[in-house]
Structure formats: structure tokens, C-alpha cells
Chains A and B, each alone.
Chain A
């Protein structure tokens, strides 16, 4: 028999409260009436209860600690197990449907087993539509934004050309009529339901119909302004960076996000600037060493105020 301290996960100097708490924790987990049919839980509960029986009694615990009492033979003679009673016909007394209820009725069948037992009542020879079948298709980020046609190979070897409309949202389900299970006896085919899972993009991020990304710019582009080529979902365009731009400034390209689709207007593209100093440059460093700013400023002023 295992050491009762080990069973309860306790050190030998545990207080009586520790013992009670450890026992309760394990009992909640392993109580056999809450784990019907789980023999491991039942066995575990027995050793836990025996350990508690021994250690919760300070007198027995002291004798065990002195080596006068063996860990074995402490198992409580178990009373009638509720589980055994409840699973026998006697358990009907506490049935939610009442002790007099029929053990089985049709509602139970259909509730537990769906239509399995109702089939007999349906004319089996009449035409019936096929079942809907569900699939998932992972779409590239730009395919979901701009729209695309992608081929999906089904588990049964068939292929479906799925037209992903522009502006498709994450989790959107496309329905292909008649592409699901075959109909029975001339009934129409079921539908194929295709859930679109959109893969993430290297730098674009989507919020509804707007798209944002971080646009790296050089020190000179930020300070002096200029035209730079920027990516958009529809291809690169030129964008003007205003002079005196800074890291974190957001520039907006109206209508360059998700194109207009259905009733929705085109979204915007947001470029957040990030100034990159770039590789070491002796001329720049020499200039900065002698440079006296006309308007000295402290970029951390706000941090200092709030701290």
C-alpha cells in the first residue's frame, strides 16, 4: 500500500487543514459516482479515502508517524454504492422523467440517435434530396481581397472550381448548389458548403474592408518628403510622403483597400510609416556630431511627464 502522504501529495509536516484540502481536491476529481464506468477513478478514490481516513484522525496519524500503524487495512467498509443502485432498474426511482415513466419512448430514441429509428416511417422509395457536405478551403490573403477561382479536391477525388468573391471575409461559407451528396431516386443533389479560411499575409493586415501595413522609409524620405512606390492589393502605386513625416504617422490611400463588392464601398489602405536609419554612414554620423538642432526636442517628454 502506498504511503498515505504520497497518495494525498503532502509533506509529512502537513497540517490537518492541508490534509482536508488535499483530500477534498482529489475526491472531487475521482468520486466514483461522478465517474461512472471509470474503474481507474474508483480505485484511485479508494486509496485517497483510505489515506484520508488514516491521516485525518490525529491519533491514528500520530501512531502511523511513529510506525505503530500500518498504512494497509485502513479502507472504509464501503456502504452501498449509489452508482450500482442507480444503474440497476432500482435507479428508475430517481429518473428525471419520474419513477412511473416508460423506460423508453420514441422521443428518447430520436433525441439520442437522431433519425436512425424514424427511417421506417418515411417512404424509402420516393425521391429525396442529397445531403449537404461541408468543406474548408484555405484562401490566400489577396485571393480573398480581390476574388479568385480556386480548385478544391474533394475526399472522393472529385474537383470543384470554387469562385471566391472579392471581399470574402474570414469564416464566410460559400454554397455550391447541387455539388453535395447525390440525391436519392431522382431527388436533387445536396449542396457543398465551403468555409473560407483566409491565410495571413506577409505585411498586409485586414480590418473589415480596410487594409493596413507598415511602410518603411529612409531618414531622407521622412525628413524631406518624396514619392515612393508602395504595394496595394491591386498592385504597386506611387505615393507622396509629405516632408517632416515621422515614424508612426499614418498615410491613407482612399479606396485602395478591399475593392467594392456587393453593397460595400471600397475600403482604404493605411500605411504606417517606420523611419529606418539604415547601415552605418560616416558622413551622416559626422554631420550629426556637429549638428546643433534649431529646435532641440525630447522625444521622451511624454513618458517623463506621466511617470
Chain B
């Protein structure tokens, strides 16, 4: 957990006012302890992602929320599929798993 000052100082080219705007827009959701924002690992990674999307990938402020929404949906889906995979790994006998994989492979041909 780091403060916004540390975050801005350790990331080249990052502007404090921008980060504050992103938090106000709910694009980044650090924990607020009293008046102090506290950035966890995922929040730091997300700030860097937004920074790269805007500065390197030329996503403008109007398009950013759309891109973030799609990214969030993609990762929601990937978390779900991963969990499903874990459950299948534990609960489904291996011969049945092999059968399902075979069926999937046949369909994608």
C-alpha cells in the first residue's frame, strides 16, 4: 500500500492531477483511509495501465472509460472461466475431462 505521492514519484511521466482525476472518475479505486488515498498493488498496476493506454496507445479521455470497461469485462470473464476450470479440475473425473476436451477440439477444427 503506497500513497499518491510515492506512486507519482516512482512512475516516470505520471502527473498527480491526472491520478486524482482518474480516482474521481472511479477508473482507479484506491482505499481511502481518512483523507489519505492508499494504493494497493492492483491499483498501482491499473494506474500504470491507464498511463500507458493514454500516452503510448493514444487512447483519449473520451474513449478511456470504454476501453477500461471492456478490459474489466474481459478479466471478469477470464476469472470466471479460470474458476470454472479449477472446479472442473477438482470435481470432474479425468476420463470425462478428456472427452470434453476432445469434443471441443473437434468443434474448433
Which A residues have a C-beta under 8 Å from some C-beta of B? 23-24, 27-28, 31, 33-34, 36-37, 79-87, 89-97, 99, 103-104, 108, 112
**Cβ distance B4 to chain A, nearest Cβ, rounded Å:** 16
Tell yes or no: B80 within 8 A of A by CB. yes
Select from chain A the residue with minimum beta-carbon distance to B44.
Answer: A80
Cβ distance A83 to chain B, nearest Cβ, rounded Å: 8
Across the interface, A87 reaches (CB within 8 A) one of B11, B73, B78, namely B78
Identify A91's interface contact among B11, B42, B58, B69, CB under 8 A: B42
Question: Could you list some 19 contacts between A and B, CB below 8 A?
Answer: A23-B56, A31-B52, A31-B56, A34-B71, A36-B78, A37-B78, A79-B11, A79-B48, A80-B44, A82-B48, A85-B41, A85-B42, A86-B78, A87-B75, A87-B82, A93-B29, A93-B42, A97-B76, A104-B83
Residues of chain A lying within 8 A (CB to CB) of residue B23: none
Interface string of B69-95 (1 = CB under 8 A from A): 101111111111011000000000000
B48, A91: Cβ atoms under 8 Å? no
Q: Contacts of A24 on B, CB cut-off 8 Å?
A: 56-58
Q: Report whether B78 and A33 are in contact in the complex, using a CB–CB cutoff of 8 Å.
A: no
Q: Is the CB of B46 within 8 A of A94?
A: yes
Minimum distance in angstroms from A237 CB to a CB of chain B: 52
Residues of B within 8 A of A95 (CB): 72, 76, 79
CB distance from A193 to the nearest CB of B (A): 21
B29 to chain A, nearest CB (A): 6
Q: Out of A79, A99, A103, which one reaches B45, CB within 8 Å?
A: A79
Given contacts A36-B78, A96-B76, contact A27 B56 (CB under 8 A): yes
Tell me if B72 and A94 are in contact (CB < 8 A): yes
Chain B residues near A79 (CB-CB < 8 A): 11, 44-45, 48
B52: A residues at CB distance < 8 A: 27, 31
Distance in angstroms between the alpha carbons of A108 and B10 in the assembled complex: 39
How far is it, in angstroms, between the C-alpha of A177 and the C-alpha of B52 when the chains are bound?
57
List chain A residues, Cβ under 8 A from B74. Answer: 36
Contacting pair B69 A96 (CB below 8 A): yes
| Contact partners of B101 in chain A: CB under 8 A | none
What is the CA–CA distance of A31 and B43 in the complex, to the nearest angstrom?
Answer: 18
Partner of B29, one of A33, A94, A104, A108: A94
A50 to B21, CA, bound (A): 30
B49 at the interface (CB under 8 A from A): yes
How far is the CB of B64 from the nearest CB of chain A, in Å? 13
B49 near A33 (CB under 8 angstroms)? yes
For chain B, residues 10 to 59, give those with C-beta under 8 angstroms from any C-beta of chain A.
11, 29, 40-46, 48-49, 52, 56-58
